[in-house]
Structures are given as C-alpha cells and as structure tokens.
C-alpha cells in the first residue's frame, strides 16, 4: 500500500490473501472538501473485494454518507478517484450504475404515491430493464422485503420500518452485482434488523458484493466479511474482520487469591502493563503463549482459580478507533 | 421453478442492451404530474373560470362593450364560442402563470426535497435526460391548463349562449367548425406562452431544495415582468418581455389572421426557453445532490 500518511492500521493494508484482481469497489485518495473548507472525507482508500460483505463503520458525521454519495456520482469528489465494478466513475456511470443497487441516506419516495407506484417510477427510469417484466419484478422485490401486503398503501402512511424496507426493495428491482446500502437497518425493530441481515446474506450468497454502512457495529458484525472504519473523515482501519480483531492485543485474566504474587510472575514473564483489581490480574499477552503463563504461575505456587485469554471484542476495537461518547465528529 | 427463483436469475428482466429511446420515464412523469391531486385541483379551479364568467355574463346581460373589459365580452352574448377566447384572456395574466409556477417550481426542487432526485440519479437517469423529462411534464401541464380553460369555455358557451357561424372581430363570418380550429390555435399559442414561464420556473427550481420558494419566486418573476411591461418609460425593453406577446393571439380572431406579432412572440419565447433551459442544465449537471 502506498499510503503516504501511514496510520497504525491502514499501513497493514487490506487482506492480501482474499483480494482478487478486480475489486468490486475501490477508491484512491478520495476527498471531499465542502465550500467553507470543511473536509468531510479525507484521502480515503477503500478496497472492497469482489463477493465480500463489507461493513463501512463509523460514528454519525464521520463521512460515510458523503463517501457513498461520491461513490454513486451524486456529488463530485474534490480530489481522488474511484472505480465501481472495475470501471472508472463517474465516466462509466451509465454502464455501471444499473448493476449497482443503492439505498442512500435513508429511503426517499413520493409521499403521495403507493409503495408499488413508487417502485414503478424507479423502474420506469431504468433503460436497461425489460418493461414487460416490470410488474413481476416489482412484486418480487416487495415480497422479498415483506411489503406485499402494503403495496397499495400510500408511502405517506408507511412506518419508518416500512419506508426502509421499500428503500431496500428499490435496490432489488433487478439483479445487481453490487449493493451499496447506507444504514439499511436504520429505524427497524430487532425483528426487522434480523430480516435485513438474512436478506443481505441471501444476496451475498447469490453472488452480489454488498457494501453496507452503519454506525452500529453490533448490527452488521454478524454478516460482514470485511470492515472499514471511518473516523473524522478518514479511513482508520480496513481489512477482514479477523484483521480488525487482531488490532487489539489479546489479554490474559487470572483470578487468584494471591494477586500481588501473580503480578510479580507476570511481570517477570515480560507481560506488559499488568494490573490487579478485585482479586483479578490483567495483562496484555504480547505474544507470550498463555501456556507459559499458566506454567509459570503454577511453578510459583500461586493458586489459580481461573485463567482466561480475552480477545477484545470488535466493539472495543471500534470504540478504540473512533473514540467514545456522544460528540458528533466534525 | 418458482417466480421467486426465476427473478433471481442473474439476467432476469434485463434487456440485451439498454433501450436507446425509452418513453417510460416520460410517461411516468406525466402520470406523476396528472395524477397528483394538487395538480388536478388546479385544473379543476381553472375549469371553473369559464363557468363563472359565463354565468356572470348571462346574468349581467353582457354589457354591450360599455363596461370596458376585453373587447370580446360583448361578443359572447352573440356567439358562445367567444366565451372560450374571453376565458383565456381573463386567465392568462394571473391564473395560468400561477398554475405553471406551482408545477415548474415543484419540478426539480420537489424531487430534491423528497430525496427522490438522488433515487432517480442512481438508477441512473442522466441529469440532462431528467431535465428534459421534467420540462416536458411542465409544458404538458401548461397545455392541459390552457386546454381545460378553452374547452370549458366552448362547452359553457354552447350551453348558455347562441351558436352557429361566428362573426369575427374584423366583421367577417366564418363557420363554426373553422372557429373551433381558431380556439384550438389560441390554446396552442397560450400553451407556448406558458412554456416560457415553465423554463424560468424549471431553472429557479434547480436553485433550491424548497419547492415552495421556487414556486413563489417563479410567480413573483412573472408579476415583476408584467409590472415592467406596464411602465411606459421603459417601453424600449418591452419587446423583449414575454408578457408583451401574451395577447397577440387576438389576431387569430380576425380575418385574415395577422401572424407577425404571434411569430415574434413565439421567437421571444423560444429565446427564453433556450436561455433558461441552458441555465437550468448548467446548474443541474454540476450540482452536488446531497439532499
């Protein structure tokens, strides 16, 4: 990776093992500076492997939606370039975008039209589909998102969850090679969120690459193969889920009646930053095999009640990368 | 194989190559414009104008040209077809431009505020194509508005007043059928006048994401131009104001028809459409769509 401004994580680069020759989506130094000088997206290098389910994570205001708008040609990047399905944008938009299903910044439809009529409007705009199959495709798209019963209801009267589903249905009006879904589970109840996850798995199984953004790691962790993390307009981490987990070192937690002695043993082993609290001793493993820790503790005659190697969960990694708290990124 | 499996086939419903010309979006746009209740209400209100006018003249006995007003009013009691002309004269200064201001102001700004602009652009709909389709929708609405006024004028005129061969303003008489053709030509001319306002409204609509602001700005523009047109001190610019040419269609109710002013009016409007159409295009094709 030719990152000129190395950050601890991006330096590692995307997972080289699974990267096929043509990524489904790639950006190089993609940047958007708004009038007034605010940099919303700052030199982002996305690499979304073909066939992956890529979770695009970041707190609200971290530049995810602005990035997605640039990807789809809605706004022009200040600098940088990007390819969709191997073709340079925005030049190839007319050829490529039909193969890309998109849900950008929440659903947007005509309030005075029914769900069905709204999809018919979108379908009518697509010159690459056969009008003769329009009804069948609209019907199936509504069925896949569970909206068949509300097809004739006006959009105005849809609940937030139903609106979100209709937005997904619009992305499913025709076969797609890439789906770009901005916060697809926003406004859905837990049941709806599960359904959307199942739908995403299904689409991925059919061969589509899925790029989905979320500010909630927990909502997409289960479906993603790859993750990119945005913070303050920059991509601070990218890779497979495993790559991301490895970012934070595993720690060992020892429950014992002799914390002071245990501390001494761990320090002697060269473990970094041991700390004791509530009859527990915690230390970063730093590559020391946990077997050696166990053996050393036993040799020192320390009564070990419990010894656990903790891999930090992804949420911890996410928070450590993006910061915690309610402050919206500027 | 179930339909569901069928539709998941990687090429289901796809054309071998994109349709070079497709009227689907245009038809969809026309449905959008003409099925919208608000727009239908506007057409309904416009349809009432000839009715009210006809009843008023019937009751009032039609004043024999003494009460001022358009020259045609006195003619209505002699031939109902004049109600169509009079209705268009009465609605053209305000009601028809207002109707077109609403629909044109809504056009792009309405899509932007609802977010449907981005939905269409990612389909993808080319921005130029979208603009053309939007403009066609407004022009069609303007034509429908003029046609509704003209048709209701004919209808109410036939019901309330005498019919038969029509004596024109110039004194000569033409058959009823020929006079109907004249009504049609007047409607088309009025629609062309409205197409000029449509271009201005379309441009204003690309500047904002607030449809109401675009509607108001378009209507105000029309009013300001009408005021300028009534100030004699600046008569030198009057030939370039679109309002100046609105009522040239009166020449269609003479015999022989004088085409000069109408042709001039159409040319002026074509220039307005070209200028504001280009501005709208320049704006929309470079706009960051972030709504």
Model confidence band, residue B291 (pLDDT cutoffs 50, 70, 90): low
User: Helices marked H in chain A — which ranges?
Assistant: 64-71, 93-96, 115-125, 134-144, 160-171, 190-205, 217-220, 241-247, 259-269, 290-299, 314-322
Residues 6+ apart with CB under 8 A from B261: B245, B248, B251
Residue B180: pLDDT over 80: yes
Bond before B124 cis per omega within 30 degrees: yes
Q: What is the pLDDT of residue B6?
A: 57
Residue that is written with structure tokens 């095999």 in the block = A289
Residue A82 φ then ψ, to 5°: -155, 150
CB of A205 less than 8 A from some CB of B: no
Kindly determine whether residue A131 and residue B119, on different chains, have CB atoms separated by under 8 Å: no
Lowest mean pLDDT among A231-235, A242-246, B176-180, B284-288: A242-246
- In angstroms and rounded to an integer, the radius of gyration of the C-alpha atoms of chain A is 24
**A8 to chain B nearest CA, in Å?**
32
Kindly determine whether residue B116 and residue A75, on different chains, have CB atoms separated by under 8 Å: no
d(CA A319, CA A304): 31
Kindly determine whether residue A143 and residue B13, on different chains, have CB atoms separated by under 8 Å: no
Strands (E), chain B: 166-167, 173-174
d(CA A223, CA A184): 13
Q: Is A35 exposed, middle or buried (0-12, 13-18, 19+ CB in 10 A)?
A: exposed
Residue B251: pLDDT over 80: yes
Interface test with B, best of A63, A94, A128 (most B CBs within 10 A): A128
CB of A131 less than 8 A from some CB of B: yes
Residue B17: pLDDT over 70: yes
Angle A146-A150-A153 (CA atoms, 0-180°, nearest 5)? 155
Q: For B107-122, write each residue's pLDDT tens digit.
A: 999 999 999 999 999 9
To the nearest 10°, the Cα dihedral for A100, A103, A108, A112? 70
Model confidence band, residue A20 (pLDDT cutoffs 50, 70, 90): low
Residue A171: pLDDT over 70: yes
A230 vs A29, A64, A204, B54, B101, CA distance in Å? 14, 7, 23, 68, 44
Q: For B149-161, write each residue's pLDDT tens digit.
A: 999 999 999 999 9
Q: What is the pLDDT of residue B61?
A: 66
Q: What is the pLDDT of residue A3?
A: 40
**A151 to chain B nearest CA, in Å?**
17
A61 vs A38, A75, A153, A215, A323, CA distance in Å? 12, 17, 33, 10, 13
B-chain CB neighbours of A211 within 8 Å are none
Instruction: Report the b/e string of B186-196 with b at 16+ CB within 10 A.
Output: bbebbbbbbbb
Nearest CA in chain B to A123: B123
Nearest CA in chain A to B20: A127
Q: Determine what percent of chain A is predicted with pLDDT higher than 90.
A: 53
| Of B215 and B172, more confident | B215
A-chain CB neighbours of B19 within 8 Å are 127-128
B155 vs A24, A166, B145, B159, CA distance in Å? 62, 45, 15, 6
Residue that is written with structure tokens 């003209």 in the block = B150
Q: What mean pLDDT do residues B196-216 have?
A: 97
CB of A129 less than 8 A from some CB of B: yes
Q: What mean pLDDT do residues A285-290 have?
A: 80
Q: What is the pLDDT of residue A140?
A: 93
Looking at the partner chain, which of A102, A107, A124 has a beta carbon nearest the beta carbon of B25?
Answer: A124
Residue B63: pLDDT over 90: no
Q: What mean pLDDT do residues A187-211 have?
A: 90
Looking at the partner chain, which of A74, A130, A175 has a beta carbon nearest the beta carbon of B118?
Answer: A74
A-chain CB neighbours of B15 within 8 Å are 127-130
Copy the structure tokens of residue A77: 């990047």
Residue that is written with structure tokens 């390819």 in the block = A83
Long-range (24+ apart) CB contacts under 8 A made by B283-288 are: B283/B203, B283/B206, B283/B207, B284/B108, B284/B127, B284/B130, B284/B131, B284/B206, B285/B127, B285/B128, B286/A76, B287/B206, B288/A69, B288/A74, B288/A75, B288/A76
Mean pLDDT of chain B: 90
Q: What mean pLDDT do residues B222-227 have?
A: 95
Mean pLDDT of chain A: 86
Kindly determine whether residue B28 and residue A112, on different chains, have CB atoms separated by under 8 Å: no
> A28: closest CA among A77, A85, A99, A100?
A77
B-chain CB neighbours of A178 within 8 Å are none
Nearest CA in chain B to A144: B4
d(CA A46, CA A42): 12
**B245 to chain A nearest CA, in Å?**
37
Q: What is the pLDDT of residue B149?
A: 97
Note which residues in 31-90 of chain A have CB less than 8 A from chain B: 66, 69, 72-76
Q: What is the pLDDT of residue A4?
A: 41
Kindly determine whether residue A97 and residue B123, on different chains, have CB atoms separated by under 8 Å: yes
Interface test with B, best of A65, A124, A202, A204 (most B CBs within 10 A): A124
Kindly determine whether residue A73 and residue B27, on different chains, have CB atoms separated by under 8 Å: no
Model confidence band, residue A6 (pLDDT cutoffs 50, 70, 90): very low
| Of A19 and A149, more confident | A149
| Of A267 and B107, more confident | B107
Q: Determine what percent of chain A is predicted with pLDDT higher than 70.
A: 91
Q: What is the pLDDT of residue B66?
A: 47
Q: For A87-117, write each residue's pLDDT tens digit.
A: 999 899 999 999 999 999 889 999 999 999 9
**B95 to chain A nearest CA, in Å?**
25
Kindly determine whether residue A125 and residue B126, on different chains, have CB atoms separated by under 8 Å: no
Interface size, chain A vs chain B, as Cβ–Cβ contacts under 8 Å: 119
B-chain CB neighbours of A137 within 8 Å are 7, 12-13
3-state secondary structure of A27: strand
B-chain CB neighbours of A66 within 8 Å are 290
d(CA B205, CA B106): 7
d(CA B205, CA B190): 22
B-chain CB neighbours of A139 within 8 Å are 3
Looking at the partner chain, which of A72, A112, A174 has a beta carbon nearest the beta carbon of B122?
Answer: A72
CB count in 10 Å sphere of residue A123: 24
Copy the structure tokens of residue B144: 């429908």
Model confidence band, residue A205 (pLDDT cutoffs 50, 70, 90): very high
Residue B255 φ then ψ, to 5°: -140, 120
Residue A325: pLDDT over 60: no
Q: What is the pLDDT of residue A329?
A: 47
Q: For A174-196, write each residue's pLDDT tens digit.
A: 999 999 999 998 888 888 898 88
Nearest CA in chain A to B2: A140
Q: What is the pLDDT of residue A13?
A: 46
């Amino acid at each position: 990776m030719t990152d000129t401004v190395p950050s601890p994580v991006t330096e590692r680069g995307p997972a080289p093992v699974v990267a096929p020759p043509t990524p489904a989506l790639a950006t190089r130094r993609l940047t958007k500076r708004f009038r007034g000088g605010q940099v919303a997206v700052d030199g982002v290098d996305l690499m979304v492997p073909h066939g992956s389910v890529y979770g695009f994570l970041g707190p609200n205001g971290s530049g995810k939606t602005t990035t997605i708008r640039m990807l789809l040609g809605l706004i022009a990047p200040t600098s940088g370039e990007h390819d969709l399905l191997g073709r340079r944008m925005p030049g190839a938009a007319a050829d490529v975008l039909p193969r890309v299903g998109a849900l950008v910044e929440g659903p947007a439809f005509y309030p005075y039209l029914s769900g069905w009529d709204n999809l018919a409007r979108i379908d009518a705009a697509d010159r690459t589909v056969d009008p003769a199959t329009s009804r069948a495709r609209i019907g199936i798209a509504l069925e896949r998102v569970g909206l068949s019963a509300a097809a004739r209801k006006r959009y105005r009267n849809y609940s937030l969850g139903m609106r979100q589903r209709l937005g997904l249905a619009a992305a499913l009006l025709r076969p797609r090679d890439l789906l770009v879904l901005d916060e697809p589970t926003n406004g859905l109840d837990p049941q709806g969120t599960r359904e959307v996850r199942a739908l995403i798995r299904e689409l991925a199984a059919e061969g589509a690459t899925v790029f989905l953004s979320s500010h909630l790691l927990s909502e997409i962790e289960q479906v993603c193969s790859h993750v990119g993390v945005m913070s303050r307009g920059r991509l601070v981490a990218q890779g497979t889920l495993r790559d991301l987990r490895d970012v934070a070192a595993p720690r060992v937690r020892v429950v014992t009646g002799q914390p002071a002695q245990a501390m001494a043993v761990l320090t002697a082993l060269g473990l970094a930053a041991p700390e004791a609290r509530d009859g527990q001793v915690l230390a970063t493993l730093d590559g020391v095999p946990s077997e050696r820790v166990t053996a050393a503790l036993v040799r020192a005659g320390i009564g070990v009640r419990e010894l656990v190697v903790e891999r930090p969960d992804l949420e911890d990694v996410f928070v450590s990368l993006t910061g915690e708290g309610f402050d919206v990124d500027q | 194989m179930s339909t569901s499996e069928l539709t998941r086939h990687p090429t289901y419903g796809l054309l071998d190559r994109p349709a070079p010309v497709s009227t689907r979006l245009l038809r969809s746009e026309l449905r959008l414009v003409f099925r919208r209740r608000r727009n239908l209400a506007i057409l309904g209100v416009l349809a009432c104008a000839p009715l009210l006018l006809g009843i008023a003249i019937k009751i009032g006995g039609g004043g024999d040209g003494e009460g001022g007003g358009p020259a045609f009013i006195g003619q209505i009691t002699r031939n109902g077809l004049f109600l169509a002309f009079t209705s268009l004269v009465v609605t053209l200064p305000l009601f028809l431009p207002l109707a077109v201001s609403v629909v044109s102001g809504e056009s792009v700004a309405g899509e932007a505020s609802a977010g449907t602009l981005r939905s269409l652009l990612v389909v993808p709909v080319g921005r130029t194509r979208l603009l053309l389709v939007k403009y066609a929708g407004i022009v069609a609405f303007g034509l429908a508005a003029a046609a509704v006024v003209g048709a209701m004028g004919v209808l109410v005129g036939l019901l309330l007043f005498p019919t038969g061969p029509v004596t024109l303003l110039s004194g000569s008489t033409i058959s009823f059928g020929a006079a109907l053709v004249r009504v049609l030509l007047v409607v088309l001319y009025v629609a062309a006048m409205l197409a000029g306002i449509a271009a201005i409204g379309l441009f204003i609509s690309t500047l904002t994401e607030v449809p109401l602001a675009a509607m108001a700005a378009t209507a105000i523009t029309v009013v300001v131009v009408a005021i300028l047109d009534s100030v004699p001190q600046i008569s030198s610019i009057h030939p370039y104001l679109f309002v100046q040419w609105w009522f040239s269609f009166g020449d269609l109710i003479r015999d022989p028809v004088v085409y000069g002013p109408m042709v001039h009016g159409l040319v002026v409007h074509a220039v307005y459409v070209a200028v504001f159409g280009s501005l709208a295009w320049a704006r929309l094709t470079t706009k960051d769509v972030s709504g």
